[in-house]
Amino acid sequence: MSDEPKIITRFPPSPTGFLHIGRARTALFNFLFTRKNGGEMVFRLEDTDKERSKKEFEDVIIESLKWLGISYDQGPFRQSERTGEYKKYLQKMIEGGVAYISPEPAKDASGEMKEVVRFRNPNKKIKFLDLIRGEVEFDTTELKDFVIARGIDDPLYHLTVVVDDFEMGITHVLRGEDHISNTPRQILIQEAISAPRPIYAHFPMILAADRSKFSGRHGAVSVFDYRDQGFLPQALINYLALLGWNPGTEQEIFSMEELIGEFSLDRVQKSGAIFDMVKLKWINKEHMRLLSDEEFKDKVIEFLPEDIKNSAKFSLMLPKILPLLRERLSTFGEVTEMAQTEFKYFFSDPKYSAENLLCPPKQRKGQEVTLEALKPILGRLKALLEPLSEPFNQLNIKEAVWPYAEEKGRGLVLWAMRYCLSGQEKSPDPFTLAEIFGKEETLRRIDNAIKKI
RNA sequence: GGCCCUAUCGUCUAACGGUUAGGACAUCAGCUUUUCAAGCUGGUAAUCCGGGUUCGAUUCCCGGUAGGGUCACCA
Comparing A365 with A190, the larger pLDDT belongs to: A190
Q: Which residues of A39-70 are buried (b: 16+ CB within 10 A; e: fewer)?
A: bbbbbbbbbbeeeebeeebbebbbebbebbeb
Is residue A366 scored above 80 in pLDDT? no
Task: Give Cα separations from A172 to A85, A160, A214, A424 (angstroms).
Answer: 22, 16, 26, 57
Q: Which run of H or E residues covers position A147? A: strand A147-151
Under the banding of pLDDT at 50, 70 and 90, the label for residue A302 is very high
Helix axes A333-340, A293-303, angle to 10 degrees: 60
Under the banding of pLDDT at 50, 70 and 90, the label for residue A362 is confident
Is residue A2 scored above 80 in pLDDT? no
Helix axes A374-385, A394-408, angle to 10 degrees: 150
- What average pLDDT does range A72-94 have in this prediction? 97
Question: Which residue's CA shows the smallest distance to C1' of B24?
Answer: A252
Tell if A266 CB is < 7 Å from nucleic strand B: no
d(CA A196, CA A190): 7
Q: Which run of H or E residues covers position A128? A: strand A125-130
Is residue A229 scored above 80 in pLDDT? yes
d(CA A170, CA A46): 15
Which class for A203: exposed (0-12), middle (13-18), buried (19 or more C-beta within 10 A)?
buried
Distance A282 CA to B9 C1' (A): 19
At residue A257, the pLDDT reads: 98
d(CA A285, CA A68): 17
Under the banding of pLDDT at 50, 70 and 90, the label for residue A83 is very high
The answer to whether A396 and A405 are in contact (CB under 8 A) is no
- Look at residues A363, A65, A61 and name the one whose alpha carbon lies nearest to residue A233: A65
Bridge partner residues of A201 (DSSP): A174
d(CA A38, CA A172): 13
Under the banding of pLDDT at 50, 70 and 90, the label for residue A106 is confident
Distance A361 CA to B29 C1' (A): 22
Q: Comparing A28-32, A95-99, A408-412, which segment has the lowest mean pLDDT?
A: A408-412
Average confidence score pLDDT of chain A:
93
Q: What is the pLDDT of residues A371-400, one digit of tens each?
A: 788 888 999 999 999 888 888 989 899 989
- What average pLDDT does range A34-49 have in this prediction? 97
d(CA A241, CA A264): 11
At residue A213, the pLDDT reads: 86
Q: What angle do CA A283, A286, A292 make, to 5 degrees?
A: 135
For A344, phi then psi, to 5°, come to -65, -35
At residue A373, the pLDDT reads: 83
- What average pLDDT does range A327-331 have in this prediction? 95
Tell if A134 CB is < 7 Å from nucleic strand B: yes
Which one-letter amino acid corresponds to residue A198?
A: P
DSSP at A410:
H
Q: Residues 102-121, chain A: which have Cβ under 7 A from strand B?
A: 104-107, 114, 116
Contacts of A453 by beta carbon, 8 Å cutoff, 6+ apart: A354, A357, A371, A372, A374, A375, A378
- What average pLDDT does range A405-418 have in this prediction? 89
Contacts of A323 by beta carbon, 8 Å cutoff, 6+ apart: none
Is residue A1 scored above 60 in pLDDT? no
Distance A132 CA to B16 C1' (A): 14
d(CA A250, CA A82): 47
Q: Which run of H or E residues covers position A325? A: helix A314-328
- Look at residues A420, A414, A427 and name the one whose alpha carbon lies nearest to residue A442: A420
At residue A277, the pLDDT reads: 96
d(CA A252, CA A258): 11
Q: Residues 11-30, chain A: which have Cβ under 7 A from strand B?
A: 12-14, 16
Q: Residues 325-364, chain A: which have Cβ under 7 A from strand B?
A: 327-328, 359, 363
d(CA A82, CA A78): 7
- What average pLDDT does range A321-346 have in this prediction? 92
Is residue A349 scored above 60 in pLDDT? yes
Comparing A18 with A220, the larger pLDDT belongs to: A18
d(CA A306, CA A336): 10
Comparing A331 with A357, the larger pLDDT belongs to: A331
At residue A365, the pLDDT reads: 66
Under the banding of pLDDT at 50, 70 and 90, the label for residue A18 is very high
User: What share of chain A in percent tops pLDDT 90?
Assistant: 77
- What average pLDDT does range A25-46 have in this prediction? 98
User: What share of chain A in percent tops pLDDT 70?
Assistant: 98
Nucleotides on strand B lying under 7 Å from protein C-beta = 2-8, 10-15, 22-26, 33-38, 67-75
Which one-letter amino acid corresponds to residue A96?
A: G
Which class for A412: exposed (0-12), middle (13-18), buried (19 or more C-beta within 10 A)?
buried
- What average pLDDT does range A315-335 have in this prediction? 94
Comparing A110 with A339, the larger pLDDT belongs to: A339
Which one-letter amino acid corresponds to residue A381?
A: L
Q: Which run of H or E residues covers position A301? A: helix A293-303
Tell if A404 CB is < 7 Å from nucleic strand B: no
Q: Which nucleotide is nearest to A419 (CA to C1')?
A: B35
At residue A108, the pLDDT reads: 66
Q: What is the pLDDT of residues A400-409, one digit of tens each?
A: 999 999 888 8
Q: Which nucleotide is nearest to A270 (CA to C1')?
A: B6
Most confident listed range (A155-169, A346-360, A417-431): A155-169
Is residue A357 scored above 70 in pLDDT? yes
